[in-house]
Amino acid sequence: MIAIIKYNAGNIRSVQNALARLGYSSTITDDPEKIRKADKVIFPGVGEANSAMQYLKEKELDELIRSLTQPVLGICLGLQLMCKFTEEGNTKCLGIFPNQVIRFKGNAIIPHMGWNDFVSNTGVLFNKVDPKSNVYFVHGYFAEPGDYTTAICDYIQPFSAALEKDNFYATQFHPEKSADVGSTILKNFLQL
């Protein structure tokens, strides 16, 4: 079973629809027992970090997510919440990745929205993905590059487009909205 974590963040149905197009069924849930028993867990989201973290804490999902041992994929806000801290609302996050999440600065349009090419990509999520591929983003905050960065894109400055540590994987971009490249990345995760 694939569990998609429900925590009052948007974009969950589009992830479920993308999985269905690939032939996988999934359950949207905030039930700790269902999440704990799932073969794979997806932690997607579009929204505001502080209120999302409050919901996770109220439901005791923050500790649960940290304790998971099966493959876990964070998407967009999910990636940011898996980091140590975000400037958005000065929020302490899950701390799975030690990265800091900061707001884009500069004269470019924020949020960064649309297609962007990889500067580099490595790691298991990018098996059979052309290093020059592009993927779809919608975000105003980003994880700084660090030891667990497996993909980098550049918008105003280089940022972590993907992270990987142990059984935890995360993408700042939306694989469910990134056409064939995104489908390949989702399949790579689902086949772990």
Q: Catalytic residue among 88, 139, 164, 174, which?
A: 174
Contacts of 43 (CB under 8 A, 6+ apart): 5, 65, 72, 73, 74, 75, 78, 81, 82, 170
Q: Give the C-alpha distances (Å, rounded to integers) separating 74 from 97, 105, 108, 116, 132.
A: 11, 24, 26, 19, 22
Q: Catalytic residue among 76, 83, 93, 153, which?
A: 76
State yes or no: is 153 an active-site residue: no
Count Cβ neighbours within 10 Å for each residue of 40-70 and write b for 16 or more, e otherwise.
bbbbbbbbbbeebbbbbeebebbebbeebee
Which of 3, 172, 145 has the alpha carbon at shortest distance from 71? Answer: 3
> What are 137's strand-pairing partners?
114
The answer to whether 145 and 122 are in contact (CB under 8 A) is no
State yes or no: is 144 an active-site residue: no
H or E segment and range at residue 16: helix 12-21
Q: What are the tokens at 35?
A: 């999440």
Catalytic (active-site) positions = 76, 174, 176
